[in-house]
Chain A
Amino acid sequence: MMLYEYALQPFVDYGFMRRALAACAALAVGGAPLGVFLVLRRMALAGDAMSHAILPGVSLAFLCFGLSLEAMTLGGLLAGLAVAFAAGAVTRLTPLKEDASFTGTYLLSLAAGVLIISVHGSSIDLMHVLFGNVLAVGRESLLLVTSIATVSLLTLAAMYRSLIVECFDPGYLRAAGGNGAAMHQLFLGLVVLNLVAAFQALGTLMALGIMVLPAIASRLWSRDIDGAIALSIFFGLCSATIGLLLSYHYGLPSGPAIVLVAGLLYVISVLFGRQGGIAGRFFRERHYAA
């Protein structure tokens, strides 16, 4: 009974907890596969850049239209896509590598966002945009989050093989007549879309957490992409559920609680992961005969 009261009753009794769980589950399922590809492409930090890039769009929309979900989502989406595409263009057209071009464009965007908020907004608004509030997820935003997760999963399924070949052997894809550059941009578009979905619940600073932390952790357990994706979804769902319960029982802000649980899973994986975890260095298993 203890377990029931602790782990299930909050979701049975309160609609806001159910909505929060549904929203976070959608974020985990939609975002985790993208996170796996971000890690595979060595772009985990570029994901961070994009999550910051969303800020000026959201804050500008907030100033112009108030606390309107549609306006803030659209603003964040436009700012994020602008940065992703500008960085992509700089990478393609100049000798700068992807990390440099992403850093250049997102800093511009972030500075603009902080400027807008500090000149026109109060600090409470800033806190809301930066950290989000998963427990205030309404029907409308739940619908938005689940729609985005559905669209991004279907799109990813359609481009799955192209994206893997583009990661492994871009020259081969180009020679075979595939369009790797378009796949890459579409993928970045999906990442921005999911970050915008997550910013409402988790805030711009935490949005990347539920996408990338489970993905990084899963790479330490799985040797193939399918396995890593399945595991990262599972890690994401665990983080969301446990994080929400901790937040409910101990009065913690939900976004950081969820990301911290994901972070704990990451630390455990780094220590004990079967594929290259640190413990493996000390407890070497007996080798096979062949």
Chain B
Amino acid sequence: MGDGIAMSAAVTLDNVTISYNRHPAVHHVSGTFEAGSLTAVAGPNGAGKSTLLKGIAGILSPDEGHISIKGATRKRIAYLPQAAELQRDFPMTVLHMIVTGYWQKTGGTGAITAAMREQASEALAAVGLRGFEKRPLSGLSAGQFQRALFARLLLQDAALMLLDEPFAAIDADTTAQLMDIILRWHQENRTVICVLHDFEQIKKYFPQCLLLARECIAWDSSAKALQPEHLLGARFFHDNWNAAPNLCERAV
């Protein structure tokens, strides 16, 4: 959807640490997601991938360091949470759910126009859910639910897209279709940051990759970032969980 070429946004991380109960989940990470870039964030479970995305989305605030976003106001950021964080049986129709994507235009009280409804139906068709407007969310499978969330993203027309494991528990056909949509966003010069686990998929479609294991292991072109020695370095990062670690004394 969108209106052709969107303004893109650059995200700069300056020595960012985000922690839970003082234990850092993202630890002294610095670097830049260039405007219009398409970056995969990879790493083992508990590596801080979701935490980093929530930090960029403004849902969590860094303990230390700074996240700056150039070229987009907070309203032009689209954030797709992990599906498990939503109530899939919420009593709402598919159409009503996806038109919340117009939030930056309508706010809490603005009207949903006929043109918006039409565009919403087109978005549903684009994600392979033609005619699902009046279906209740509880009647969708996990994959269909994820497609519906993508339709909402299409309506958001955002400059910066943050996607947290968009293909978890999704079949191959759906994944391919949703991947096409992500590539189209990239062509439209939107900045896309996507948490993923499938290294082959990353190498095939994503030019850039940030390999995270609490700290930044590698942030480079995907082929370079996913070299074997980097992956090995990322694998064993939390082998020794320490309940009472020393304070981090790293120079800022």
Interface of A toward B, CB cutoff 8 Å: 40, 158-159, 161-162, 164-165, 167-169, 171-178, 219, 222-225, 228
Report B-chain residues with C-beta under 8 Å of the C-beta of A164. 92
Name A172's contact: one of B79, B90, B107, B136 (CB within 8 Å).
Answer: B79
Also in contact, A223 and B138, with CB within 8 A (given A165-B103, A168-B86, A168-B90): yes
Assess whether B240 is interfacial by the CB under 8 Å rule.
Answer: no
Tell me, in angstroms, the Cα distance from A164 to B99 when the chains sit together. Answer: 12
B100 pairs with A172, CB closer than 8 A? yes
In the complex, the answer to whether B59 meets A174 with C-beta atoms within 8 Å is yes
**Which residues in B have some Cβ–Cβ distance to A below 8 Å?**
54, 57-59, 74-75, 77-79, 81, 85-87, 90-93, 96-97, 100, 103-104, 106-109, 136, 138, 162
Partner of B79, one of A165, A168, A175, A219: A175
Asked whether A167 and B90 contact (CB < 8 A) given A175-B58, A175-B77, A223-B138, the answer is yes
CA distance in complex: A225, B59 (Å): 27
Given contacts A173-B103, A174-B59, 8 further A-B contacts (CB under 8 A): A161-B100, A161-B106, A165-B100, A171-B57, A171-B81, A178-B108, A223-B91, A225-B92
Q: List the A residue with the shortest CB-CB distance to B56.
A: A175
B108 touches A159 (CB 8 A): yes
Question: Can you pick out 22 interface pairs between chain A and chain B where the beta carbons lie within 8 Å of each other?
Answer: A158-B108, A159-B108, A161-B100, A165-B103, A168-B86, A168-B100, A169-B86, A171-B54, A171-B59, A172-B103, A175-B58, A175-B78, A176-B75, A176-B103, A219-B91, A223-B91, A223-B138, A224-B91, A224-B93, A224-B96, A224-B136, A225-B92
Which B residues touch A223, using CB under 8 A?
91, 136, 138
Q: Which residues from chain B contact A177 at a C-beta distance below 8 Å?
A: 74-75, 103-104
Nearest chain B residue, comparing its CB with the CB of A157: B109
> Are B91 and A40 interface neighbours, CB within 8 A?
yes
A169: B residues at CB distance < 8 A: 81, 86, 100
Docked Cα-Cα span, A162 to B79, in Å, equals 17
Closest B residue by C-beta to A224? B91
Say whether, besides A168-B97, A169-B86, A177-B74, A228 and B59 are in contact (CB < 8 Å): no
Contacts of A161 in B (CB 8 A): 100, 106, 108-109
- Chain B residue with the shortest CB-CB distance to A168: B90
Given known A40-B91, A168-B90, A168-B92, contact A175–B59 (CB-CB < 8 A): yes
Q: How far is the CA of A168 from the CA of B98 in the complex (A)?
A: 12
